Amino acid sequence: MHLQFQREREREMENGKCNGGTAARSPVIKFTKLFINGNFCDAVSGKTFETVDPRNEEVIAMIAEGDKEDVDLAVKAARFAFDHGPWPRMTGSERARLMHRFADLIDQNIEELAFLDAVDAGKLFETGKIMDIPAVSGRLRYYAGAADKIHGEVLKMTRPSLFGYTLKEPIGVVGIITPWNFPSIIFAMKVVPALAAGCTMVVKPAEQTPLSALFYAHLANQAGIPDGVINVVTGFGPTVGAAISSHMDIDKVSFTGSTEVGRKIMQAAAASNLKDVSLELGGKSPLLIFDDADIDKAVDLALLGNFYNKGEVCVASSRVFVQEGVYNSLVKKLVEKAKDWTVGDTFDPTARQGPQVGRRQFEKILSYIDQGKREGATLLCGGNAIGDKGYYIEPTIFVDVTEDMKIYQDEIFGPVMSLMKFKTVEEGIEMANNTRYGLAAGIVSKNIDLVNRVSRSIRAGAIWVNCYYGFDVDCPFGGYKMSGVGQDSGLEALHSYLHVKSVVTPLHNSPWL
């Protein structure tokens, strides 16, 4: 593993010869202000904060630093748009038409959006172009297709004198709080179904990665989505995030982030207006590799499950359990292949792993690696920072990890894999479930009976068999245990932005109705 961020390649990019292309050469940041009621504006306080490029630790732009007063203004705009504006009153197909237009504009700006996430979050530019940004426009088209199919049902009442039916109505003003690891996809996972449902919203992107959310707000505006429907307030968690979670005029908060902050949001919702809350939280997901597994495939999945997006993935398979019959051969292959997992600049098309998002995360990961060594785990490979500029860390693998160690229990959120051996199927299941989290799990085996049994025994919201990261917009995604409440994706997500109202009327004159 080696850092490929060489001067030569930088020069190639400057000359437009390598795939960094046009976007890499034109780092123009167009939107840095809050977006409220269809306009970009300064924060009431006039304050700004820095957003930093994790490749080189340089400031990319100064961003408006919102606070409680700005959240109040954004909620006022969203409330007005919900209570009096056209968006919730349009037909589903009218909303769908504007959502398709929004999707088309995203497709026309893929390079620029992928560029923003690459410099803000350290995400690979090529991956952004082919996966993250198309996933946003794809999600708009999926939910646009559902926007005109939202309907209640006629009820079969037990009392024959009554006629009853249900209406599905948008839940109202939604507060959306997102993390920094997938700035585009997680923005879309929440904003898009809420749009289709007819809600209006106030979005707070993570302070580390505010750039793409502001660009999406601009594109939504260009597409004709009415003023006040999407508002973006950039700033910090304890100010902007806390003001959203405790706001009396917000009807639901949809949050993705750490379990610790999720708990605060639930408490704030309970202490204010008992708003609906959905939480997508942390994870410490297991990948179970059984004796009959295809070893090459298992090795590839373990690497992908841990080092994709530099391990900054809520569902990363950071605990890999290997059955004893294949343990030695798998470890050997894993170490060989991990050495080829290239770390490099986000614009380098040969890099498979970019820099960690920021200094705090970088230091946190390195301190977990130190702790793993101190607690007695054996470092098989990696374990160090790379270079003296930027937040690059080697893909790291520990063996001899035991259940009491912090690296086994805590979410590290970096390129750090822990490998454990198990004997029987029961033991593997028990070890996999020994965590406070329950977000996802992977199973590698050719035995269908075994796969069925293990899939049903793991307490996690997503099970991926002979694959990893089996995400799809049609596939509901949500955690068990302390990994969350509620679901993103699929029609479940759309329904989470809808209220069910029942309407009852008598069929005949009744003395008491």
The string of DSSP codes covering 143-193 is HHHHHTT----B---SSTTEEEEEEEEE--EEEEE--SSSHHHHHHHHHHH
Q: Which is nearer to ligand NAD, 200 or 356 (CB)?
A: 356
CB 263 to ligand NAD: min, Å: 10
Q: Tally Cβ neighbours within 10 Å of residue 326.
A: 19
Q: Which is nearer to ligand NAD, 231 or 323 (CB)?
A: 231
The candidate with the shortest Cα–Cα distance to 477, out of 497, 465, 493, 499, is: 493
CB 499 to ligand NAD: min, Å: 24
The candidate with the shortest Cα–Cα distance to 124, out of 313, 264, 310, 289, is: 310
Burial of 426 (C-beta count, 10 Å sphere; 0-12/13-18/19+): exposed
Ranges of H-type helices in 198-323: 211-223, 242-245, 259-271, 295-307
The candidate with the shortest Cα–Cα distance to 339, out of 352, 326, 321, 329, is: 352
The string of DSSP codes covering 189-221 is HHHHHHHHHT-EEEEE--TT--HHHHHHHHHHH
**280 belongs to the catalytic site:** yes
Q: Which of 280, 312, 394, 411 is catalytic?
A: 280
CB 353 to ligand NAD: min, Å: 17
Residue 381's Cα: distance from chain center in Å? 28
Q: Which is nearer to ligand NAD, 243 or 399 (CB)?
A: 243
CB 298 to ligand NAD: min, Å: 24
Q: For residues 326 and 262, give the distance between their C-alpha atoms in angstroms, rounded to a whole number.
A: 39
Q: Which of 207, 314, 394, 411 is catalytic?
A: 314
Q: Decide: helix, strand or coil at residue 506.
A: strand
Q: For residues 77 and 102, give the distance between their C-alpha atoms in angstroms, rounded to a whole number.
A: 21
Tokens of 23: 């976007």
Tokens of 182: 């997938």
Q: For residues 30 and 334, give the distance between their C-alpha atoms in angstroms, rounded to a whole number.
A: 43
Strands 200-204 and 230-232, sheet pairing: parallel
Q: Which is nearer to ligand NAD, 281 or 460 (CB)?
A: 281
Q: Which is nearer to ligand NAD, 176 or 399 (CB)?
A: 176
The site for ligand NAD (CB under 6 A) is made up of: 177-181, 186, 204, 206-207, 236-238, 241-242, 245, 256-258, 261, 264-265, 280-283, 314, 411, 413, 439, 479, 484
Q: Which is nearer to ligand NAD, 85 or 235 (CB)?
A: 235
CB 65 to ligand NAD: min, Å: 12
CB 8 to ligand NAD: min, Å: 34
Structural contact between residues 405 and 368, judged by C-beta atoms closer than 8 angstroms = no
**314 belongs to the catalytic site:** yes
Active site members: 280, 314
